[in-house]
């Protein structure tokens, strides 16, 4: 008994941001909030690492000579500030200073009544 199958030639590539895909099931919180990666760091490190990126790429090609397939997952760990939303509300009088890279003041000012000031949004 012989079986003959005819399949068209095709190539398919896929790239998925797994952090976005995992967000609805709260895996993001586990990965980014306060993970313990101490085993990956030198003992004297002050770094506060978190998973900043998980990308998965896959490839499959059906050709006359056969099938080729590959997959790769990239997990990126950063030690910078995790992207947690921060809200700052200046709702009372304050002083502001805008400096250049050398620390010289470019603008200095006082906001006496923030409730009457225009929003910067």
Instruction: Report which of residues 32 and 108 the model is more confident about.
Output: 108
Q: What is the mean pLDDT of residues 39-65?
A: 77
Q: How far apart are CA 75 and CA 40, in angstroms?
A: 14
Q: Return the biggest CA–CA distance within the chain.
A: 90
- The number of helices, as runs of H, and strands, as runs of E, in the chain is 2, 5
DSSP states of 50-92: EEEEEEEEEEEEEETTEEEEEEEEEEEEE-S-----------S
Q: What is the mean pLDDT of residues 114-118?
A: 66
Instruction: Report which of residues 91 and 32 the model is more confident about.
Output: 91
The answer, yes or no, to whether residue 80 has pLDDT greater than 70, is no
Write down the pTM of the prediction. 0.47
Q: CA torsion angle for 9, 15, 20, 26 (degrees, to 10)?
A: 70
For 11-48, write each residue's pLDDT tens digit.
Answer: 989 998 888 877 776 665 556 556 666 666 666 666 66
Mean pLDDT estimate for the chain:
76
């Amino acid at each position: 008994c012989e079986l003959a199958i005819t399949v068209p030639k095709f190539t398919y590539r896929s790239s998925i941001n797994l952090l976005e895909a995992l967000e609805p099931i709260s895996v993001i919180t586990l990965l980014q909030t306060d993970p313990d990666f101490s085993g990956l760091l030198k003992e004297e490190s002050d770094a506060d690492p978190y998973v900043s990126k998980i990308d998965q790429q896959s490839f499959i090609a059906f050709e006359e000579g056969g099938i080729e397939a590959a997959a790769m997952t990239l997990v990126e760990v950063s030690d910078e500030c995790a992207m947690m939303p921060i809200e700052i509300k200046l709702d009372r009088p304050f002083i502001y200073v805008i400096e250049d890279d050398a620390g010289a003041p470019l603008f200095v000012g006082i906001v006496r009544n923030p409730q009457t000031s225009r929003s910067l949004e």
